[in-house]
Chains A and B, each alone.
Chain A
Amino acid sequence: AQSVAQPEDQVNVAEGNPLTVKCTYSVSGNPYLFWYVQYPNRGLQFLLKYITGDNLVKGSYGFEAEFNKSQTSFHLKKPSALVSDSALYFCAVRSWGYSGGGADGLTFGKGTHLIIQP
């Protein structure tokens, strides 16, 4: 079984400050990790993903995430937060390789509300 933990229900950051949204995962086989953002009454928008290669992944809107295999973490970061970054952020995982197929579903964390204060 695979699982994702997002330990913070809400993260508050002042505009212009760096932000971090935490995510840890558990999966059999190789992890395939994602971050998605959801605005109110909207669908999920893809931000970035990690499959293999460099541990630091850069994505949309200035976001990046660092894969740490030993800590089984994939924290989302941004050097300078904008008010428009306020939204609900989901970390997701699936395995691939010996236990996962190409069309497997994602397992999501509970989500973290990011609030950027002007």
Chain B
Amino acid sequence: AAGVIQSPRHLIKEKRETATLKCYPIPRHDTVYWYQQGPGQDPQFLISFYEKMQSDKGSIPDRFSAQQFSDYHSELNMSSLELGDSALYFCASSLVAGGPETQYFGPGTRLLVL
């Protein structure tokens, strides 16, 4: 079965640079979620989009923004990167239209900020 696709899988950036992470949800899923997992930490919810509209907002820094496009893929844009942004970034998708459903996670993008 098709899974959530994230690109790139690994990314190295310098401080103050920008980064864009991409997420392609499972086909026919209408909702995308972004999570950040620091080293040895639990995943922290950042933001979600349902039918291309922002739905829920968690601990997303103001330096980060995200959107969901007409084909339901999503991008997380990160600016003025800091050392503390080094983490594993997960995207998850679900089908919400029929009621709350399971979030299926992608393999993650590992971001290293030097």
CB neighbours (8 Å) of A103 from chain B are 31, 33, 48-50, 55-56, 94, 96
Contact A106–B45 (Cβ < 8 Å): yes
Contact B105–A45 (Cβ < 8 Å): yes
Contact A44–B43 (Cβ < 8 Å): yes
Contact B105–A43 (Cβ < 8 Å): yes
B27 at the interface (CB under 8 A from A): no
Residue of B nearest to A104 (CB): B56
Among A51, A105, A108, A110, residue most surrounded by chain B Cβ atoms (within 10 Å): A105
B99 at the interface (CB under 8 A from A): yes
A29-73 vs B, CB cutoff 8 Å, 1 = contact: the mask equals: 000101010000011111001010000000000000000000000
Interface size class of B (residues with CB under 8 A): 20 to 34
Near B by CB (< 8 A), chain A positions 69-118 give: 90, 94, 96, 100-111
Q: Chain B: interface secondary structure?
A: strand
Residue of A nearest to B53 (CB): A103
Contact B35–A105 (Cβ < 8 Å): yes
Contact A102–B90 (Cβ < 8 Å): no
CB neighbours (8 Å) of B50 from chain A are 101-103
Among A32, A44, A101, A109, residue most surrounded by chain B Cβ atoms (within 10 Å): A44
B91-113 vs A, CB cutoff 8 Å, 1 = contact: the mask equals: 01010100110111111100000
A residues at B contact (CB < 8 Å): 32, 34, 36, 42-46, 49, 51, 90, 94, 96, 100-111
